[in-house]
Amino acid sequence: MSYSNVEGSIPVVVAGALGAMGSQVIKTIIGASDCHLMGAIDIVEDKQGLDIGLELGLGHQGVTITNDLEGCLCQVSQVTRNSNHAVLIDFTHPQVVYKHTRTAIAYGIHPVIGTTGMTKENLLELIEFSRKAGVGGALIPNFSIGIILLQQAAAAAARFYDFVELTELHHNLKADAPSGTCIKTAELIEELDKSFNQPKIEEYESLLGCRGGRRESGIRIHSVRLPGLVAHQEVLFGSPGETYTLRHDTVDRSAYMPGLMLAVRKVRRLESLVYGLERLL
Ligand SMILES: NC(=O)C1=CN([C@@H]2O[C@H](COP(=O)(O)OP(=O)(O)OC[C@H]3O[C@@H](n4cnc5c(N)ncnc54)[C@H](OP(=O)(O)O)[C@@H]3O)[C@@H](O)[C@H]2O)C=CC1
Ligand SMILES: O=C(O)C1=N[C@H](C(=O)O)C[C@H](O)C1
Residue-wise pLDDT tens digits, 177-206: 999 999 999 999 999 989 999 999 999 999
Residue 117 CB less than 6 A away from ligand 2: no
Q: What is the mean pLDDT of residues 146-169?
A: 98
Mean pLDDT for all residues in the chain: 96
Distance between CA atoms of residues 25 and 204, nearest Å: 45
Judged against a pLDDT cut of 70, whether residue 1 lies above it is answered with no
Domain 10-135 has CATH 3.40.50.720: yes
Q: Is the pLDDT of residue 3 over 70?
A: no
Residues 86-115 have a mean pLDDT of 98
- Confirm if 24 and 58 have CB atoms less than 8 A apart: no
| CB proximity list for 121: less than 8 A, separation 6 or greater | none
Nearest-CA residue for ligand 2 atom 3 is 231
Instruction: Name every residue whose Cβ is closer than 8 Å to that of residue 70 and which is 6 or more positions away in sequence.
Output: 103
Mean pLDDT within 12-21: 98
CATH level 3 topology of 145-251? Dihydrodipicolinate Reductase; domain 2 (3.30.360)
Same fold, 10-135 and 145-251: no
User: Active site residue: 110, 170, 232, 248, which one?
Assistant: 170
Domain range annotation of the chain: 10-135, 145-251
Active-site residue, 174 included: yes
Q: Report percent pLDDT > 70 for the chain.
A: 98
Give the Cα separation of 195 and 153 in Å (integer): 18
pLDDT (average), residues 17-23: 98
- Residue 170 CB less than 6 A away from ligand 2: yes
DSSP helix/strand/coil, 41 = strand
The DSSP line for 8-26 is: TSEEEEEESTTSHHHHHHH
